[in-house]
Structure 1
Amino acid sequence: MATPTQEEQHLHFVVFPFMAQGHMTLMIDIARLLAQRGVIITIITTPRNAARFKATLDRAMESGLSIRLLEFQFPCAEFGLPEGCESFDMLPSFSLALNFFQAANMLEKPVRKLFPELTPRPTCILSDVLLLYTLDIANQFQIPRIVFQGVCCFLLVCLHNLRISNVLDQVTSETEYFVMPNMPHEVEFTKCQIPQVLYENLKQFSEERKKADLESYGVIVNSFEEMEPEYVKEYKKTREDKVWCIGPVSLCNKEAMDKAQRGNKASVDEQQFLGWLDSQKPGTVIYACLGSISNVTPPQTIQLGLGLEASNRPFIWVIRGSDASNEVDNWISENGFEERTKGRGLVIRGWAPQVLILSHPAIGGFLTHCGWNSTIECISAGVPLITCPLFADQFANEKLAVQILEIGVRVGVDEPMRWGEEEKIGVLVKKEDVKEAIEKLMD
């Protein structure tokens, strides 16, 4: 009989990450974890996405891991996307979301053509749930397709229970609270806090995604049973027990270099902010970052900054590139913000190595949009949350963190910031809300 190691040497997983910063980062971590167990890995992606992770994958391959990249051109122009828009976080408007999903799934033809040439013969497809075409390829070549879900089991159970009940039919408005049916805990939602309910143009794609998901062999989830045991158990019931919680996958990044270069290149020298963090007392610094695909308006961004200033606590504030408009830049530099917070505040524009920052002992709280990657990375680091959800799965993640796990404090957002309608909505969180939440968490 072959030993496990011998068996693993014959395994060849073809990995299909969805083209978005957060999705790619997780799938690269999973690919490395599998390769460390002797599995041969082929990653299917596009040139710009491959470039983002080149340093990480080069180090992995230099260490002897069997990982290879296959790059395919992304059909931007064919689907009305800007040239070079190969990642979801590059979209100029959410109105192009469906175009992007459709473009991502048009890689089927070139991938299908190349698939028989892969050696050794692939034994499994590991696919992001948003790449529906991989089910057809798995069926054609008679290999299992395992879906990757980049969300928590709590949300997956919520969505399942909504599908098999008629509770939403009885809700008369987007802001009316209702109790999520058949849950281990009593949790209330509004209709507008549920992912995808707000976007009519995505309903058909969402239904097709659910169908492809259920027809797949099984599911892996970036979560762990000790954190949400009741919901892992409930979700397994919906998938005939073929659910494997493999998280937090970010923990595979042991070395400082892996943490620093996990994704995009940092917009500042990591030694600069690590030196600054080293000078702070343990558990005193607020880390504030609202994710890689949020479009926060300048007035809202300024209110967050004023709240951080009013807290009178040291902070690291990450401002996404698209949020750092001229208005915000002028306010930071010309209205005295930098001078007033000099020495106790550090502003990073663009991308920051979040896992590296959260793992530093000086961090005492994380002001977050509650994207699942950020939430589980924060939990892994043992850092409590200040929750400021914006859209998608983030309200569900907030409820898990604050109401069920009791490891966070709400800023007080009840309605989502609809992508593309940010200017209409205006300011959801004022500086007083931010200051009060920080004080409640830290005192």
Structure 2
Amino acid sequence: MAAKNHQNLHIAVLPWLAFGHIIPYLELSKHIAQKGHRISFISTPRNIDRLPKLPPHLSSSIALIKIPLLRITELPENAEATMDIHGGQMDHLKKAFDGLEPGLTRFLEDSRPDWIICDFAAHWLPPVAVRLGISRAFFFIMNAWFLAFFGTADTLISGSDYRTKPEDFMIPPKWVKFKTKVAYRRFEAEWSAGASQANDSGFSDFYRLAKVIVGCEAILVRHCYEFEPEWLPLLEELHHRPVIPLGLMPPRVQDHSTTNDANHNVRTTINNWLNHQNKGSVVYVALGSEVTPSQDQLVELAHGLELSGVPFFWVLRKVSGCDLVELPNGFEERVSGRGIVWRSWAPQLEILSHAAVGGFLTHCGWDSVIHLWTKGILSMEVVHEELSCRVGKARDDWKRGKEVPGESAGDELSVW
């Protein structure tokens, strides 16, 4: 790793275009800025505008850099993050993300930061940074075992993984020599097998990830040795780079009491409703910015909430370009007073911090799980693609929860 003589460094930060990535990268930026270093936090204009306000004492240390996103016809107008699209457009968003390279290169040439911390999608970035003499680190927003499960970067780049069928991913890989229960279910294994194939962006997700790892000098992981004493050393062994666990880095609830806050009315409305509920009685339902439930899944979830008899706050977002899914006829009228269906942005961390909330029905996103752990809230986790493997299966080792078997029909597996 290149040595730096600067007492205070200039560090550029580039997350992938998903707020489940952007927010952890912003939290890391805050931690670094608190140590006296200068941050250039880089994203697209609309994503920068949607960031939470920086703490006043850090605002002079973190510069928010806007680089316009490449416009491509397959994306909706103003779509700059995964929350603005549906799953079928994800590869096109990656293609648009690749279009940031010229603008980012110009910024790096002009500003010459000491380090750049980047995400998995920016496979083109490390060679640019090497040419400019900028040190590089990859921040992996999940845990170490999820990354170690895929093997070496060289294997991912060459496509020479011995695992070619979904069944191969349903047992621990051969380079894991210690006892573990970590393995994929079939539908998770099918995702993993498909992630090695080039998609409409021109590159596979595994190729992007591997090129970033090869081009960086260190891997930063959002986890800790207490949870992964075997997996962190294995990750270093696989990639021959320092692996630095950063801890969970849970975001903090900010003070939004001022009426100058752009979302003041939203926060007030939600908080007033929660204030009238009993302590620990409310189930908060939010499936994340990248989950689009089918019509059948939506109906089943609505029926479950109705039959449960418990108060609930359900964040149900509309995805641009998707067909509008409909709730069961008369559902909102029947649950009126007990439950709320909220169809726009909601302050998740503040909701989970409210004393009235006692449960969280979520999609297993790592960020949401960290929120739950730090708040001590019971979670009921709906599986979303590989995310259940990343969180749910590891819980067996950590003794943090119990996996409930799903139902299988042919080649499909569902928890619905």
Distance 2:172 2:59 in 1: 51
Q: Contact between 2:181 and 2:393, CA under 8 Å: does it hold in 1?
A: no
Give the alignment of 1:39-438 within 5 angstroms: 39-53=37-51, 55-57=52-54, 60=55, 64-77=59-72, 80-94=74-88, 96-118=89-111, 121-160=112-151, 168-169=163-164, 171=165, 177-181=170-174, 182=176, 183-194=178-189, 195-199=191-195, 200-202=197-199, 204-240=204-240, 242-251=242-251, 253-257=252-256, 269-322=266-319, 326-328=324-326, 331=328, 335-401=329-395, 403-410=396-403, 412-413=405-406, 428-430=414-416
Shift of 1:85: 2.2
Q: Residues of 2 paired with 1:175 and 1:158: CA distance?
A: 12
Letter in 1 for 2:230: E
Deviation at 1:92, TM superposition (A): 4.1
How many residues align? The count is: 398
What SS class does the counterpart of residue 189 from structure 1 fall into?
Answer: coil
How far residue 256 of structure 1 moved from its aligned partner, in angstroms, is 3.8
Instruction: Give the percent of matched residue pairs that are identical in Structure 1 and Structure 2.
Output: 26
Give the whole-Å Cα distance in 2 for the aligned partners of 1:132 and 1:326: 35
Call closer, same or farther: CA 1:187–1:46 in 2, change over 3 Å: closer
Q: Gaps (5+ residues) in structure 1? A: 1-5, 419-424, 431-443
Partner secondary structure for residue 16 of structure 2 = coil
Q: Deviations over 1:9-59 (max 9, x none)?
A: x31001112112211122122212211221111122211111111x514xx
Deviation string 1:302-345 (CA, Å, 9 cap, x unpaired) is: 2112112222222221112239965525x3xxx33223323332
Identify the structure with the greater helix proportion: 1
Are the aligned partners of 2:129 and 2:135 in contact in 1 as well (CA < 8 Å)? Answer: yes
Letter matched to residue 85 of structure 2: L
Q: Distance in 1 between matches of 2:287 and 2:168?
A: 23
How many angstroms apart in 1 are the aligned matches of 2:94 and 2:326?
A: 31
Corresponding letter in the other structure for 1:404: D
Structure 1: distance between partners of 2:6 and 2:216: 23
Contact 2:115 2:137 in 1 (8 A): yes
Go from structure 1 to structure 2 and tell me whether the alpha carbon gap of 1:241 and 1:46 turns closer, same or farther (over 3 Å shift).
closer
**Structure 2: which 5+ runs fail to align?**
none
The offset of 1:167, in angstroms, is: 6.3
| Alpha-carbon displacement from aligned partner over 1:189-214 (angstroms, at most 9, x marks no partner) | 23531454235334645224313313
Higher deviation after alignment, 192-201 or 155-164: 155-164
Q: CA RMSD in A?
A: 3.5
2:31 is aligned to 33
Q: Distance in 2 between matches of 1:209 and 1:36?
A: 29
Letter aligned with residue 271 of structure 2: L
Which residue of the partner structure matches residue 433 of structure 1? none
Structure 1 residue 410 displacement after superposition: 4.1
Partner amino acid, structure 1, of 2:337: G
Query: Is contact 1:149–1:220 with CA below 8 Å preserved after alignment?
Result: yes
State the TM-score, normalizing by the size of structure 1: 0.79
Residue 163 of structure 2: SS of its match in structure 1?
helix
1:159-185 CA-to-partner distances (Å, cap 9, x unmatched) read 22896996634x5x6699435542542
Distance 2:282 2:390 in 1: 26
Q: CA deviation at 1:154?
A: 2.3
Against the structure 1 CA distance between its residues 188 and 67, is the aligned structure 2 distance closer, same or farther, given a 3 Å change threshold? closer
Q: Give the Cα separation in 2 of the matches to 1:161 and 1:284.
A: 46
Instruction: Give me the whole-angstrom Cα distance separating, in 1, the residues matched to 2:206 and 2:87.
Output: 19
- Whole-angstrom distance in 1 between the partners of 2:103 and 2:168: 45
Tell me: CA distance 1:283–1:228, structure 2 relative to 1, closer, same or farther (3 Å): farther
Q: Is the Cα contact below 8 Å between 2:121 and 2:205 reproduced in 1?
A: no
TM-score, normalising length: structure 2? 0.83
Partner SS, residue 197 of structure 1? helix
